[in-house]
Structure 1
Amino acid sequence: MKGQIMDKKIIVLLSGCILAVFLLAGCGNDEVSSEYNIEYLNKDKTKIVDVPYEPEASDTDGMIKEFLAKLSSDSDNVEYRKPIPNGVEVTDYSLDGVMLSIHFDADYSSMTEVEEVLCRAAVVLTMTQIPGVDCVSFYVADAPLTDIRGNIVGSMNQDSFIENPGEQINSIQCTTLKLYFANETGDGLVEETRSDVYYSSNVSMEKLIMEQLLEGPQTEGAKSAIPAGTKLINVSVVDGVCYVSLDENFKNQDYQVNEAVVIYSIVDSLTELSTISKVQISVNGDTSGTYRDNFKLSDMYDRNLDYVVSLEETGVTEEE
């Protein structure tokens, strides 16, 4: 068994909102020593719990079948819950090299976002303990699993759920974001407060903001200021400056949106964070050239709320 698996120090948690969670030891299982664990959920289904387990099978295929069966069955301990819930079935699996593909029925999609993340983490962390299984991919009704933006999740391994290997706690947290999108006419910014945004501690707040901006607004009378199809390459913060690298689709211009509105949709959203005072935007890491006519990519831009307008000014009444 690989050393890094033996030394695994990770627990994935979810909560209704920001919640600190501590690594749990299985009740009554402290004296049990095993090379393997089954990852169950705690009674409240807010975190994952390592429960030592000694498999009956010794071959890879036998262990895959046995572990999947355990993940779909409740523990003997009433304090633990199975991560694959009732109604969700594993329909097939295959091992190609070190890649384990697990197929679920369509009911997998009926899980809430919180339930799905917990289930996925528990399955990956359990199955990648098996010798010969290094990574796992999920399929739902024979289609690759996608995230809420429609992007394919792809293969996952133990590191997919670790922010810092030395940290014992990873959390799924909840926050409220203030974002800025273009108004319908493209000559102003509309403020949108987005509540109950869940995110993994693996994701930085600046990345979360950019992902939410690229996802588009939820407010009637607003639209995305960033050109359609733009993807985030990288985002980082150094000494109060946020460096945002977008792909070449950022150059695809929608001239119905003012160039300043595009820039300050990004800048004003990011500078809502107290850790960010300036923003520099690049295309594939290249800061040469000018965005349209007036905005040099090499410049660092300060917060500027001059373009923010109310929904009433745009002729739209805000609705819940």
Structure 2
Amino acid sequence: MRRLKRKGYLLFFLSLLLLSTLCGCGGNTASSAASKEKTDSGEGITTEAAEDKDTINLYYLNAEEDGFKKVPYTLQNPNDSVKASYEVLYKLSDTEGNNTSEYKASIFDGIAVNDVSPLENGKENIDFGAAYGQLSHVKEVLLRTSVVKSLLQIKGVEGITFSVNGSSLLDTDKVPVGLMNEDTLLTDDGEKSIYSEKKKVKLYYTNKTGDKLISCFREVEVKNNVPLETQVLLMLKNPPASKKNLKSPLSQDFHVNQTQIMNNTCYVDLSSDIENAVADVKEKITVYAMVNTLTDLDTAYQVQFTIDGKRVSKLNEFEKFDTLLTSNFSLCK
């Protein structure tokens, strides 16, 4: 009987606490006491604690698209890693809702997520559509890094692999990218450059007489948000000092306004300085030094040139400069 009375007093006391909370009297104290009692009794955790536990940081691109902006997000399916991964990928793909003055969606417009497949030991494979293969090197690294950094925060996700239409994602050396996890990321918050990966590329210079192309392997470090295509073109201005038989096919005032990869085509907008011919170098050699170098990167198989945003049918003595150009190895020595 006494036990029942004590239980009744306890219920009455808790009712008073609840009433005082609703009335705004001592609300903070009552709420804290109720939360502590619930936690100590082993009945569960508070709502606030649950929200903290299920909240992760999504790694969007910053406004300059050269790093990341962390934005908190509360998972709707925190106990299902695959569903949670779909959530995250959807948010990172929402180019309409997540392009602000401070950050932008990191899965670029037109890039489809085909599937999220769970693998053994907490690993997942993300399969993208064919358009993923058309991304520039810098954009691809940005996208992939943002996805990995975001997904690894989900409970049960220990590593990510990537594929494109069911085939393993390859790097620029045609080697599978492989598993990405905490050990493969450069920093926790992306402050350091993610473009420090060095690549071996084949550049096409000219011989001393300017009538033949000579290929030369060089190492390039992709950095500072400059597309790889732009970097290799600028490298054509300066042959390696150790290669005495090589000559630049481009003038020293050569400038690239922009390069962009789309539908297997590299679109190159040059400044009008390209019209300044190099002494003793044929225009055909100048043009195909650029075309062969770009197509050898395997990001595109044809090149479309413009000069200051306009198509120009003739570059000095070279006809049809405004057409889609493919590699020409018959000019190589």
**TM-score bracket for this pair, using the shorter chain length:** 0.3 to 0.5
Question: RCO greater where, 1 or 2, for CA within 8 Å and sep 6 or more?
Answer: 1
> Which has the larger strand fraction?
1
Alignment TM-score, normalising by the size of structure 2: 0.45
> Which has the larger helix fraction?
2
Alignment TM-score, normalising by the size of structure 1: 0.47
